[in-house]
């Protein structure tokens, strides 16, 4: 199982209006950062990744440190779990495949 980490700054711009007085990191931002971290860890910058499933379990707040754990099987399926202080906040599955090269 491989790991990556992301820290969302206290002043993250996505949290400013999401929600006033009770800021959270939007799920789309969390999922995007997770996919980017996994692609970088797999050295798959030139890969096309498709999210197959994602379940948001708890909110992520500005200032949180997110630990991303993931594994890839023989078919290229990637399972991942994101946690803050040991508490799962996002679980899911995605697949990455290499982009075709231009001829």
Does 53 map to a domain?
yes
| DSSP state at residue 21 | T
Q: Is 12 a catalytic residue?
A: no
Does 103 map to a domain?
no
Does 75 map to a domain?
yes
Task: Quickly list H helices, 1-103.
Answer: 27-41
Model-level pTM? 0.87
- Count structural domains, the chain: 1
The whole-number pLDDT of residue 31 equals 95
Query: What would the pLDDT profile of 22-61 be if each residue is shown by its tens digit?
Result: 899 999 999 999 988 988 887 755 567 789 999 999 999 9
CATH number for 23: 3.10.129.10
Place of tokens 């996002």: 90
- Give the domain range for residue 64: 2-98
Catalytic residue among 18, 61, 69, 79: 18
Which residues neighbour 36 within 8 Å (Cβ) at sequence distance 6 or greater? Answer: none
Does 39 map to a domain?
yes
Does 76 map to a domain?
yes
Q: How confident is the model at residue 87 (pLDDT cuts 50, 70, 90)?
A: very high
């Amino acid at each position: 199982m491989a790991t990556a980490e992301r820290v969302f700054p206290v002043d993250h711009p996505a949290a400013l209006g999401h929600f006033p007085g009770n800021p959270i990191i939007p799920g789309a931002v969390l999922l995007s950062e997770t996919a980017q971290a996994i692609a970088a860890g797999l050295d798959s910058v030139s890969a096309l990744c498709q999210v197959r499933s994602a379940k948001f379990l708890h909110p992520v707040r500005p200032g949180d440190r997110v630990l991303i754990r993931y594994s890839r099987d023989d078919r290229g399926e990637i399972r991942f779990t994101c946690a803050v202080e040991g508490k799962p906040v996002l679980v899911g599955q995605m697949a990455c495949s290499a982009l075709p090269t231009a001829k």
